[in-house]
Structure 1
């Protein structure tokens, strides 16, 4: 059996964007019937408080898509996680720069999600943080993530 592809999504607190991204990606992989061990999806945060639950609005936004984020617990990104990953997708350019500072030898496997998915290097590379906003903002964030993840997975799994 081939080694599974390991993808990690990174944001700041690992309670909104990266946790939603991971769950959305897992659902797309299940829907594609890729097999349980073909792709490993993880998430973490550059400033996460280990064990924090997902934002209630993130849970609600994904519940509307029949996905369950209620069991998610945040974790801080570690060098070990980064080394094990085949792809590291951040939500912002600043997070990408932070990860590259921590793990410079990861150049070439660290991208903002939008940069990789839409093949852009200039312009808006960020997925805005919904933290502190209303449920509609979380829904919009989930929609942005879903579109980018579909494109990203098409490239990674081709």
Structure 2
């Protein structure tokens, strides 16, 4: 059974916080589940993007405490499942942390390996689409974990 989850995007301020907080909410009935997020090029210490916070808040999630973190070897080593937003993240992690193979998957794996497009510096509609794609993907994973 998976107990430690890591959700990864680029800056750790848009997509991965959405995935982290949503997955955390979906796993609330599992007291041993730990859900974190990080970025491959994180804006370390920054809060989630204001539009990401807004979209999450409108969907019942408060991510105001989120602060961006850079992915590292320990995070990978302690994760049972690493969910990434696009193929570039998957390649980067495999290249930098080869021991991660088999535990790193596209969040949209069960949606024909769909990627979640980066909404950073785009209009609100891009954040709403990223949210919808993340919800659909996380819900698919819930039947597997």
Superposition TM-score, scaled by structure 1 size: 0.87
Structure-1 residue corresponding to 2:14: 16
Residue 4 of structure 1 deviates from its aligned partner by 6.5
Give 1:130-145 correspondences, 5 Å limit.
130-145=119-134
Match of 1:147 among 128, 133, 136: 136
Structure-2 residue corresponding to 1:49: 43
- Which structure's CA Rg is the greater one? 1
Structure-1 residue corresponding to 2:93: 99
| Partners of 2:94 and 2:30 in 1: CA distance | 31
Report if the CA contact (8 A) 2:7-2:38 is conserved: yes
Report if the CA contact (8 A) 1:45-1:74 is conserved: yes
Question: Alpha carbon RMSD of aligned pairs, Å?
Answer: 1.4
Residue 81 of structure 1 deviates from its aligned partner by 0.3
Report if the CA contact (8 A) 1:11-1:17 is conserved: yes
Report if the CA contact (8 A) 1:11-1:91 is conserved: yes
Report if the CA contact (8 A) 1:4-1:40 is conserved: no
1:73 aligns with 2:62: no
Residue 50 of structure 1 deviates from its aligned partner by 1.6
* Structure 1: gaps of 5 or more residues: none
Task: Count residues with an aligned counterpart.
Answer: 145
Structure-1 residue corresponding to 2:4: 6
Report if the CA contact (8 A) 1:23-1:67 is conserved: yes
For residues 53-112 of structure 1, the C-alpha deviation after alignment (integer angstroms, 9 at most, x for no partner) is: 100000000010111111100000001100100011110101100000111121111111
Superposition TM-score, scaled by structure 2 size: 0.94
**Secondary structure class of the residue paired with 1:62:** helix
Match of 1:36 among 6, 26, 31: 31
